[in-house]
Amino acid sequence: MFLWMLLSEELEWGHNSEYDALYQKLQYAYVKEQTVYLFLGIFQKLFEEMGIDNQDNTMIISRMKEYIANHLAENISLKEMLKDFYFSPGYANVLFKKETGVTIHQYIVNERMRAAAELLREQPDLKIYDVASRVGYSDVAYFINVFKKIYGCTPTQYGIRKNNV
């Protein structure tokens, strides 16, 4: 509520029906995600009024994806990834999901599994623990479980099936 009052005073909202309606919703937002989505809506409206468009968001998401691609084999820290964007992890996740349809974590998992499948196709002699390590998994059993959930088979079965086709 304090943030709302500061924004209202700083931006001289007065009695704008759109902002009044959002304020009413904010009073009943008891879950953190509800509050984040409400403020995301408020900031989106403010950005539109200031002439900032979704191209900026697209560029930011693109840079996040690039960071993930460059650090896929590492333990990706959301805090480290976001240090140049000045976003909280919660806001970054909301923005990322709005633009891509998946959370940052889901995107990282999907990219790691895509890279693992590519390694299995291109280097069939590679050991599973090497594949896991190259895509950021130190726990091979966990890697195999995640891979199986996404592809419906183990990495070994996937490698055999793809190389026999």
Is residue 68 within 8 A of residue 61, CB to CB? The reply is no
- pLDDT tens-digit readout, 49-92: 555 555 567 888 898 999 999 999 999 888 888 887 777 788 78
Task: Give the predicted TM-score (pTM) of the model.
Answer: 0.67
Nearest to 116, CA basis, from 133, 139, 138? 133
Tell me which residue has tokens 């964007």: 85
Nearest to 112, CA basis, from 156, 89, 145, 79? 145
Q: Where are the alpha helices (DSSP H) in 88-139?
A: 89-100, 104-122, 128-134
- pLDDT tens-digit readout, 125-158: 899 999 999 999 999 999 999 999 999 999 999 8
